[in-house]
Structure 1
Amino acid sequence: MGSEGMKQPWKIGMFQCAGLMGAWKLPENTATDFLDLNHWLTMARRCEDAGVDFLFFADDYGYPVVGDGIPATALRGGVQFPKADPTMILPALAAVTERLGLVTTLSTTVEKPPMVARKMATLDHITNGRIGWNIVTGAGQNASARLFGLPMTEHDLRYEIAADHVDLSLKLWEGCWDEGGLVIDREAGIFADPDKVREIEHHGPHFDAKGLLPVPPGPQRTPMLFQAGASVPGRDLAAKYAEAVFLAAEVPALTAQIADIRRRAEEYGRDPRSIKCLIAGTFVVAETEADAHALRARQTGTRSLEDAAASYAFFTGLDLSVMDPDKPLDVEAALTQTGRTNVERFLGPDAPTVREILEEFQRNSVMGAPFIGDAGQVVDQAQAVIEATDADGFLVQPDHTGTFDSFIDLVMPELRARGLVATDLPAMTLRERLLGTGTPHLAPEHPGAAYRRDVASAKSPATA
């Protein structure tokens, strides 16, 4: 790992979806409380008190589909189903926290750009600049297409649509309101300065718009931009627009993916270090190594191979249960349009058999191998991965309770003792907290910054 990365404290986010997930069958697990607001309020307060950087909610409209419907095993096992809408929860979490970042997912396939722009601009105000948008084309594509009565969109085309979507959203956030456009001068009777507020025009390959974002800019103007998706089109989208990226794989693949994202970012004229790469990390931690391994066995024992097959179908659209368990995935399977990341990871000269893929999903689902042991051991393992991959931190998965209590109680003190995470940070915007640039706004070299009139006018004719 480069010396630049070693100087920066790790960034720590916590992963959730507003639904059932994880080892919910264990008696101590609280994931079944996902429709109880107090469940989320307690979690947010605990994360903030522990010094966590942000709480992240994955979201989608999908669910496992096999053949012509949701498999019974997915319903019995609570596999990628059910889930609620996290955007309904975020304002409540913002009200009980002051420093914790809040990140949510909105799909570029389902949500139209003006809808995303208005929601996120509102949340930027409500959170005092602590909001982030996870840009995804959407998980469970085959199910969501059925739900909305839309044809299935080809995988790479979804990323073309996503790029156009983000471009239009950036125009709405950055181009409609100048600094000082909101006046609110009661004596003069001026609410907004007409010279500093304007409609934008966008004529892209997939979206056309002429109009005004009615929400004035919040503290960040554009929400902190996240991306999750490790296919080649996903990495390219991240390199162009994202300020933080979530990745889930084993070390060799992670190292290659992170290097590729940074290389592509530089080709887009961006600082390759300006993108924070966060690894989806599963920490199975207890007071002793033996207790941690026993806990791991209990967690794994809650998931059957049938659950694993349903989960794999959700992410890829492929039904492993009808394939030859002693052979690898065939070439045709790689052409799935639902999701590529979890197909591509199991291809190649050393490709595992279908049975081995199911066993891997039973153990780890889409995540890499967990860190297991006492606090010192798991932090040693995590440090080795950071050094090998050039990553910037972790997106921590829920523990056996469905919360992050073991990580907060055992791992965070160890990280602080080693000086690996920032401590006692004041309230600030999410962008300032994660990027450390001292500004709540997009970096000048980010493509979205060009849509702000003050930025565009400051550029010379050679660079405008």
Structure 2
Amino acid sequence: MQKTLTIGMFQSGGVRGSWKIPGRESEPNFTDLDYWITLARKCEAAGVDFLFFADSYGYPTMDGAVIPGAITHNVNFTNIDPQVILSALAAHTEKLGLVTTVSTQVEQPAVVARQYRTLDHLSKGRVGWNIVTGSAQAGSALLFGEPLMAHDDRYRKADDHVELSLKFWEGCWEPDALQRSSITQTWADPNKVHEIHHRGPFFASDGILPTPPGPQVTPTLFQAGASAPGRALAAKYAEAVFLAAESKALAEQIADIRGLAEENGRGRDAVKCLIAGTFRVADSYDAAAAQHRAQIEAISLDQAATHYAYYTGIDLMSLDLDRPIPESAAAGDNGRTNIERFLGPDAPTVRQILEEFRANGVMGKPFLGSPEEIVDQAQAMIEATDADGFLVQPEPDGNHDQFFARVLPEMRRRGLIKDELAGNTLREHFFGVGCTQLPDTHPGAAFRAHNVLV
């Protein structure tokens, strides 16, 4: 049976690449609200499920200092706050899901809970939280004046953070607590608004989230991170997960997440697995491949190394280019996903890693060709991996216009995507009309106000 695919559009909340093109340096861009409103309206008109903003406080560092090339080439040096952007986009869209990243490493649960509950109200239930421990941890630690935390400890902290956030969302307010009664002069029934008592390894609370529930109660939960702890976190809490790798690795990661979700009592289909895909469309495969080669040639190995350092903290240019990453360099506490993908018995050389990052970055190989060829490739990837859809990466100038104009119509013609979005909330887009709140099988359901909260 053919799957109906979920489609999200990726943005980073930062400046797009058009500034590098002579004559286009001053085009409206990342600090111009109209730029984002126009993009969101295009996404909504195209009928995609959601617009996603990645985010991070980090930046590429080496030996406790910023890498100058990261500033020169803009590796995460223009980001603005995506949550502020989303509050504006909510007013200019009606159906489009709006998703952003917030790190469990630097934000407090009560702050995150109130921010997303506010956005859930403002968007009428269309907001999602991408749960991450944060990328470029060394830069983030410098910014916040904190020591760098070990990778697995960051995921223990993330688990504690999400648990407390769920307690705030699900446990503070009973469904009928808010009364707004002028007759009894009662805003809310104090017997139905509850304190949360939480003592975890990283966070504690004896308080109440004072913001009443929005349409979803808990925002739709996403996760990005393909390391073993990341997959475990996704299988426990996420409703959708972002993954980027080649077909064989993707299939293994997705099978692992589905199996872990089943072990957690959630069912194998509780988590939508979305492939981060790059689509380069032209009139033919050869034309698209030539465009891709030209993009690769515009990126130096030094630039590729700076991007790799952003995700991992490893300076590939300081290593032997003709040998794999040595075990000593691979044992750090920065992000693991882009280290582990290049380890193992068939590990590539450092030079090969640089060439791979130069060509594809953190993504797998792009889909290249005419619309028909690209959709053939995308369908084959879905069948080979058991994925549920795509998180579509921007085109070279930062927009998605070619994907909207040429790829989506071919997907729709084949019945691969929805003719219209289900329901009005983001969770309904994923799981069907009426599925506005977490299902009873989700661990967050155990924290609902009629249960004992500890």
TM-score range, shorter chain: over 0.9
The Cα shift of 1:21 comes to: 4.9
The aligned residue for residue 185 of structure 1 is: 181
Contact 1:21-1:80 within 8 A present in 2 as well: no
Cα distance change, pair 400–243 in 1 and its aligned pair in 2 (3 A): same
Contact 1:20-1:31 within 8 A present in 2 as well: no
Long gaps (5+) in structure 2: none
Aligned partner of residue 394 in structure 1, secondary structure: strand
Q: Distance in 2 between matches of 1:266 and 1:197?
A: 33
Aligned partner of residue 296 in structure 2, secondary structure: helix
The one-letter amino acid paired with 2:180 is I
The aligned residue for residue 287 of structure 1 is: 283
The Cα shift of 1:320 comes to: 0.6
| Aligned counterpart for 2:10 among listed residues 15, 18, 31 | 15
The one-letter amino acid paired with 1:438 is G
| Structure 1 runs (4+) greater than 6 angstroms displaced | 28-32
The one-letter amino acid paired with 1:428 is N
Aligned partner of residue 213 in structure 1, secondary structure: coil
Please give the residue correspondences for 1:260-409 in structure 2 after superposition, counting only pairs within 5 Å.
260-409=256-405
Q: Distance in 1 between matches of 2:32 and 2:107?
A: 26
Q: Distance in 2 between matches of 1:322 and 1:336?
A: 15
Contact 2:422-2:429 within 8 A present in 1 as well: no
Contact 1:281-1:367 within 8 A present in 2 as well: yes
The one-letter amino acid paired with 2:67 is P
Q: Distance in 1 between matches of 2:285 and 2:314?
A: 37
Contact 2:423-2:434 within 8 A present in 1 as well: no
Long gaps (5+) in structure 1: 458-464
Contact 2:194-2:449 within 8 A present in 1 as well: no
1:232-257, CA deviations, whole angstroms, 9 ceiling, x for partnerless residues? 00000000000000000001100000
The aligned residue for residue 152 of structure 1 is: 148
Q: Aligned pair 1:65/2:61, yes or no?
A: yes
The Cα shift of 1:110 comes to: 0.3
The Cα shift of 1:23 comes to: 7.1
Please give the residue correspondences for 1:394-433 in structure 2 after superposition, counting only pairs within 5 Å.
394-425=390-421, 428-433=424-429
The Cα shift of 1:289 comes to: 2.8
The one-letter amino acid paired with 1:209 is S
The aligned residue for residue 206 of structure 1 is: 202
Cα distance change, pair 30–44 in 1 and its aligned pair in 2 (3 A): farther
Q: Distance in 1 between matches of 2:69 and 2:297?
A: 16
1:351-371, CA deviations, whole angstroms, 9 ceiling, x for partnerless residues? 111111111111111000000
Please give the residue correspondences for 1:239-254 in structure 2 after superposition, counting only pairs within 5 Å.
239-254=235-250
The one-letter amino acid paired with 2:113 is A
Contact 2:422-2:433 within 8 A present in 1 as well: no
Q: Distance in 2 between matches of 1:32 and 1:255?
A: 40
The Cα shift of 1:259 comes to: 0.3
Contact 1:29-1:400 within 8 A present in 2 as well: no
Q: Distance in 1 between matches of 2:307 and 2:430?
A: 32
Q: Aligned pair 1:125/2:121, yes or no?
A: yes
Q: Distance in 2 between matches of 1:79 and 1:451?
A: 40
Q: Distance in 1 between matches of 2:25 and 2:40?
A: 17
Q: Distance in 2 between matches of 1:78 and 1:44?
A: 24
1:36-61, CA deviations, whole angstroms, 9 ceiling, x for partnerless residues? 11111110000000001000000010
Aligned length: 451
Q: Distance in 2 between matches of 1:222 and 1:293?
A: 43
Q: Distance in 1 between matches of 2:205 and 2:336?
A: 31
Contact 1:29-1:402 within 8 A present in 2 as well: no
1:105-155, CA deviations, whole angstroms, 9 ceiling, x for partnerless residues? 000000010010000000000000000000000001000001100010000
Q: Distance in 1 between matches of 2:349 and 2:27?
A: 32
Aligned partner of residue 328 in structure 2, secondary structure: helix
What TM-score do the two structures reach when normalised by structure 1?
A: 0.94
The one-letter amino acid paired with 1:408 is F
Cα distance change, pair 270–251 in 1 and its aligned pair in 2 (3 A): same
Contact 1:26-1:302 within 8 A present in 2 as well: no
| Aligned counterpart for 1:215 among listed residues 211, 229, 236 | 211
Q: Distance in 1 between matches of 2:35 and 2:82?
A: 13
Aligned partner of residue 448 in structure 1, secondary structure: helix
The Cα shift of 1:427 comes to: 5.1
The Cα shift of 1:349 comes to: 1.2
Cα distance change, pair 170–313 in 1 and its aligned pair in 2 (3 A): same
What TM-score do the two structures reach when normalised by structure 2?
A: 0.96
Contact 2:28-2:35 within 8 A present in 1 as well: no
| Aligned counterpart for 1:79 among listed residues 69, 75, 78 | 75
Cα distance change, pair 337–354 in 1 and its aligned pair in 2 (3 A): same
1:278-299, CA deviations, whole angstroms, 9 ceiling, x for partnerless residues? 0000000123333322321232
The one-letter amino acid paired with 1:136 is V
Q: Distance in 1 between matches of 2:232 and 2:397?
A: 36
